[in-house]
Amino acid sequence: MSDVLAGLGRHRLVPVVVLDSAADASGLADALVAGGLPVAEVTFRTAAAVESIRVMAKRGDMLVGAGTVLTPEQVDQAADAGASYIVSPGFSREVVLRCAERGVLALPGAVTASEVMAAVDLGVTTVKFFPAETSGGAAAVKALAAPFKDVRFVPTGGVGPKNVRDYLAIPSVHAVGGSWMVPRELIASGDFDQVRRLTADAVALVGREALV
């Protein structure tokens, strides 16, 4: 689990993916890898998530996680499919405990001090700060991080090329999540060349220096 966390911290970006069809998973994975970002958070927003995770995890050259995980049952489905991390929009004790049972990294959502404390109580070291922009943006992350010197944050939601560096400049920010390099329509239309270009641009924008 610490390897997965370190990997996310090295890449600094977590593409948040919505796949309408698992048939697109392979092309998307190729584009992300070719663009220099072998990372994907495949959201359970669509029925294609489980099979897409399976396809991407089987390659062995990507950090594949599940997003929008709301229940322990979804943790099981994602872990069975090969996901190595589980991202939730909020904090659920049941989801975090199931992740621990299954040996997969939990990244629960937290935007308040109480949510951070509840997560820390269960041994969580890194939380998703979601939805980042509407919850106060980089200034809010900075203020929330101040009392939690051992907690790392992955701001997600409204992050894009204009503000990504503001978040990454905060020492407690481990990585940021975003969908701007993997637009759902481009994936659905099979325009993986454009996804690769957007991915390479995103990688160039944030640089590759590791913080951990």
What are the catalytic residues?
41, 128
Contacts with ligand ELE by CB under 6 A: the residue count is: 14
179 scored as a contact of ligand ELE (CB under 6 A): yes
Q: Which of 107, 157, 167, 168 binds ligand ELE (CB under 6 A)?
A: 157
**Cα separation, 154 vs 23, whole angstroms:** 29
Both structure tokens of 162: 């204009």
- Contact flag: residue 141 with ligand ELE (CB under 6 A): no
Could you please report the per-residue DSSP string of the chain? -HHHHHHHHHH-EEEEE--S-GGGHHHHHHHHHHTT--EEEEETTSTTHHHHHHHHHHHSSSEEEEES--SHHHHHHHHHHT-SEEE-SS--HHHHHHHHHHT-EEE-B--SHHHHHHHHHTT--EEEE-STGGGTHHHHHHHHHTT-TT-EEEEBSS--TTTHHHHHTSTTB--EEESTTS-HHHHHTT-HHHHHHHHHHHHHHH------
149 or 154: CB nearest ligand ELE:
154
CB of 128 to ligand ELE, least distance (A): 7
Of the residues 43, 52, 74, 172, which one makes contact with ligand ELE according to CB under 6 A: 43
Q: What are phi and psi of 152, to 5 degrees?
A: -110, 155
Quote the least distance from Cβ 164 to ligand ELE, whole Å: 10
- Identify which range of 74-82, 114-122, 154-162, 185-193 contacts ligand ELE by CB under 6 A: 154-162
Q: Which stretch binds ligand ELE (CB under 6 A): 28-36, 73-81, 155-163, 194-202?
A: 155-163
68 makes contact with ligand ELE (CB under 6 A): yes
Interface residue with ligand ELE, options 52, 156, 172, 199 (CB under 6 A): 156
Assess 5 for contact with ligand ELE (CB under 6 A): no
* Interaction between residue 159 and ligand ELE (CB under 6 A): yes
Residue ranges binding ligand ELE (CB under 6 A)? 16, 43, 67-68, 87, 89, 130, 156-159, 177-179
